[in-house]
Amino acid sequence: MQEVKMKVDGMTCRSCVKSIEGSLEQIGVEGKVDFDEGTVHVQYDESKLQLNDIQEVIRSRGYEVTN
């Protein structure tokens, strides 16, 4: 399992947290969003997904994400 913490810009409310976590769950990624810090900590199986795939899912929800 790979673990990464990323910066997420564009979250405006607690519903954003649920949106991101739900989207990650749909692709089999365990994610914990910290609204106050503006970050997401993810755990994923690198044999099934690449970090770029996870970032693209977050971007598709309207957020900017950086390592």
pLDDT greater at residue 46 or residue 67: 46
pLDDT digit string, tens, across residues 2-58: 999 999 999 999 999 999 999 999 999 999 999 999 999 999 999 999 999 999 999
Instruction: Break the chain into its structural domains and give their ranges.
Output: 2-66
**Whole-number pLDDT of residue 36:** 97
**pTM, to two decimals:** 0.91
**Whole-number pLDDT of residue 67:** 79
pLDDT digit string, tens, across residues 44-56: 999 999 999 999 9
Is 2-66 in CATH node 1.25.40.10? Answer: no
Q: How far apart, in Å, are the Cα atoms of 13 and each of 3, 38, 52?
A: 25, 11, 25
